[in-house]
């Protein structure tokens, strides 16, 4: 029944029963179920495949080898654009690694290497029209192509990362991990037992922290830029967890459809967060969103498909 207190008198409505509040046992059970669900989600989200070592088949992605490459790069220390560490030591490490990969590529594929230096300028519309001027910024560029009589000028997939860092960090996540992953990806692609159907261009740019100077130099000046039809950018957004596919398209779903079926490229970002791309496309998020060890952005190149 329902009891209503009014002027020290109780008014009782017949045929109505008072409902007891939820018992403490039910509350504890609901809380335990919620915590168990969160723990399960966290376990699944952080469950990573066991990394392969140097004894794995050459066409497979070897995670332990990529980790050693990351150690070699970060041992240089901070690599600020224009510094000796960035312009000499880091470039030398990348060039020597790529040359070693080329020497051990399968006979069906070959690697072309170029150290590109560019100068230029572009407007920074988001900084009240300021201009970003640069001179002599370096990038290490490698192109993996199938051997044979195919024409030299053909479409390519661009894979990008950067090896420069901010002044006070060795850049393990931003973006040394991206460089290590792309070096190992290059090795695995070059070791494939059949010629690649399309070329893969690997851009290790050395001036990203200065607001994308080296990438601007490549796309506006390098002879291979006109062959790019789509690109994958590996960048850091945090310092832990698995790689996350942060943004794709949004008007080219074929990139999403092809990536999971590729034995090597699928390893770049096995986890996806499509909602993040929707948030950013609507202008509700800044350029960088924290969320995991890295973010992979897939975009069609504006020059065509």
Instruction: Write out the catalytic residue numbers.
Output: 208
Rounded Cα distance between 195 and 192, Å, is 7
φ and ψ at 259, to 5 degrees?
-55, -45
CA distances from 97 to 160, 166, 175, 208 (A): 17, 23, 17, 21
Write the DSSP string, 68-100.
HHHHHHHTT----TTSHIIIIIIHHHHHHHHHH
End-to-end CA gap in the chain: 72
Contact yes or no for 78/169 (Cβ under 8 A): yes
CA dihedral 61→230→275→37, nearest 10 degrees, is -10
**188, two tokens:** 């695995």
Write down the H helix ranges in 47-164: 63-74, 84, 91-103
């Amino acid at each position: 029944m329902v009891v209503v207190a009014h002027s020290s008198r109780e008014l009782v409505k017949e045929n109505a029963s008072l409902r007891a509040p939820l018992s403490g046992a039910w509350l504890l059970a609901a809380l335990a179920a919620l915590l168990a669900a969160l723990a399960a989600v966290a376990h699944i989200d952080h469950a990573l495949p066991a990394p392969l070592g140097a004894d794995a088949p050459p066409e497979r992605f070897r995670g332990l080898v990529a980790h050693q490459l990351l150690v070699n790069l970060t041992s240089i220390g901070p690599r600020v654009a224009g510094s000796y560490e960035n312009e000499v030591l880091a470039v030398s490490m990348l060039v020597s690694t790529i040359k070693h990969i080329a020497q051990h590529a399968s006979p069906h594929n070959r690697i072309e290497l170029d150290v590109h230096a560019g100068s230029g300028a572009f407007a920074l519309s988001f900084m009240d029209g300021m201009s970003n001027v640069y001179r002599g910024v370096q990038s290490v560029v490698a192109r993996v192509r199938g051997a044979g009589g195919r024409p030299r000028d053909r479409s390519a997939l661009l894979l990008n990362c950067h090896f420069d860092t901010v002044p006070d960090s060795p850049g393990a996540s931003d973006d040394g991990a991206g460089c290590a992953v792309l070096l190992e990806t290059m090795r695995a692609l070059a070791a494939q037992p059949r010629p690649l159907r399309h070329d893969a261009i690997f851009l290790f740019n050395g001036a990203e922290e200065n607001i994308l100077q080296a990438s601007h130099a490549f796309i506006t000046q390098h002879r291979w830029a006109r062959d790019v039809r789509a690109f994958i950018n590996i960048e850091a957004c945090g310092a832990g967890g698995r790689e996350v596919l942060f943004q794709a398209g949004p008007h080219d779903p074929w990139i999403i459809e092809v990536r999971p079926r590729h034995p090597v490229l699928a390893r770049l970002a096995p986890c996806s967060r499509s909602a993040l791309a929707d948030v950013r496309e609507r202008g509700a998020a800044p350029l960088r969103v924290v969320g995991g060890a890295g973010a992979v952005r897939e975009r069609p190149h504006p020059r065509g498909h």
